A = this chain, B = another copy of it.
Amino acid sequence: MVKPPACRTKLRGLLNTRLFKALGDPTRVGLLAYLAERCAPLTVNEAAQCCPIDISVVSRHLAVLRDAGVLEAAKEGREVRYSIRYPESVKLLRDLADALDGCCPINPTKRKGGKR
């Protein structure tokens, strides 16, 4: 048994289509980038300033990103502040990169350093 079976299930588990589906729309990544640039939790109204679309659409897009695990919502009074889940998002991307990198033993990307 040459190929480690652990990496398979890990890679399969990390390849969550819901996340990529969420990031597959230009309006949504525009919202995500806007949130990242503003460096602060934004309300739906504030996030809507990023692009000329209806507030209801923005609300739906933010909900999609929240369901995908990229954002988290915090209700404050009558407004909701959406913020990026940095630790989880970054970790997921790094884990995915590591899983893809370490899946094939004869991988040309073979890093010279350690695990991290």
Pick from B20, B90, B103, B107: contact of A101, CB below 8 A: B90
- Residues 5-47 of chain A, each 1 if its beta carbon lies under 8 Å from chain B, else 0: 0011001100101001111111001001100110100000000
Closest CB of chain B to A82's CB: distance in Å?
Answer: 14
Number of identical protomers:
2
* Chain A interface helix/strand/loop/mixed: helix
Q: Could you list 14 examples of A-B contacts with CB < 8 Å?
A: A11-B37, A15-B32, A17-B23, A17-B25, A20-B22, A20-B24, A36-B103, A39-B103, A39-B104, A84-B100, A86-B107, A89-B100, A90-B100, A94-B97
A residues neighboring B (CB under 8 Å): 2-3, 7-8, 11-12, 15, 17, 20-26, 29, 32-33, 36-37, 39, 84, 86-87, 89-91, 93-94, 96-97, 100-101, 103-109
